[in-house]
């Protein structure tokens, strides 16, 4: 046996590492980088985490690449994330995959989930679940009050238009300025069997609501002087449409307009 294995065997792996570190300090050589392993090795990649935790946000759908783009700025921040719908339906012991994914991606965030079924088996450090009904504003408000300030809301609940609309109308005003609100699986908006509609101009579907937000972004350009801007007109600053996913940015929408100078003839009359 050569001298190196004999020394390693006698000292032990840990002591050998300590001696190597001391040698580098004495000689001035930089320490060799330690390659992350396990979850740490993929913690920067939301899609890989989705595959690891077996959530359909990647695979069945392609949501995680969009979430990474819009939520990357929160990677190491302390904040509260609420997801409506925990998964697993009423099957015992199933659900919670995406909550675990969020926890792994956001190491300093508090992750909250709400479901109409009891999913308390998912609870652990930095993951808290609530029983709630997204079709009931009182239920939604009670949970929001327990959480406090909410920075990110993800609606992955029933996907029925009336429920999506109720949830948005109730929780969006409670979302922090600068926050992100996401609605998943918007395909159901086009399915009458899921309380949607074949009518692409239907006003009472989730997509009908979400498409109206794009007009609201430009409410300052409306020439109807009697128009009163809505809460969302004044507090939505970005709407991003992807396949079956819509991501909404909250903020103060008051950039002003050049319509009076551009439409001098119209406004000369007033």
**Residues with catalytic function:** 159
Side-chain half-sphere exposure of 32, counting CA atoms within 13 A: 8
Distance CA 152, CA 176 (A): 8
Task: Give φ, ψ of 219 to 5 degrees.
Answer: -60, -30
User: Greatest CA span in the chain, whole angstroms?
Assistant: 100
**Contact (Cβ atoms closer than 8 angstroms) between residue 250 and residue 231:** no
β-pairing, 110-115 vs 127-131, is parallel
- In sequence order, the β-bridge partners of residue 180 are 152, 249
Positions of E strands within the chain: 80-84, 110-115, 127-131, 150-155, 175-184, 236-242, 245-250
């Amino acid at each position: 046996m050569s001298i190196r294995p004999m020394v390693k065997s006698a000292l032990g792996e840990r002591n050998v590492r300590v001696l190597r570190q001391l040698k580098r300090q004495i000689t001035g050589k930089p320490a060799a980088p330690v390659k992350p392993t396990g979850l740490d090795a993929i913690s920067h990649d939301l899609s890989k985490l989705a595959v690891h935790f077996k959530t359909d946000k990647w695979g069945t759908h392609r949501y995680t690449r969009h979430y990474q783009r819009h939520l990357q700025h929160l990677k190491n921040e302390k904040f509260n994330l609420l997801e409506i719908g925990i998964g697993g339906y009423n099957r015992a012991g199933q659900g919670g995959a995406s909550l675990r994914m969020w926890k792994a991606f956001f190491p300093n965030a508090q992750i909250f989930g709400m479901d109409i079924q009891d999913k308390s088996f998912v609870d652990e450090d930095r993951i808290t679940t609530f029983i709630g009904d997204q079709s009931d504003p009182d239920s939604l408000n009670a949970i929001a009050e327990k959480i406090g300030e909410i920075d990110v809301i993800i609606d992955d609940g029933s996907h029925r238009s009336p429920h999506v609309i109720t949830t948005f109308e109730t929780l969006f005003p409670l979302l922090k300025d600068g926050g992100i609100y996401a609605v998943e699986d918007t395909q159901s908006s086009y399915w009458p069997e899921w309380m949607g509609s074949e009518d692409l101009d239907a006003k009472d579907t989730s997509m009908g609501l979400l498409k109206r937000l794009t007009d609201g972004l430009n409410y300052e350009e409306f020439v109807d002087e009697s128009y009163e801007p809505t809460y969302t007109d004044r507090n939505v600053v970005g709407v991003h449409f992807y396949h079956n996913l819509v991501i909404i940015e909250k903020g103060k929408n008051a950039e002003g307009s050049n319509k009076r100078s551009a439409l001098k003839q119209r406004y000369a009359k007033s």
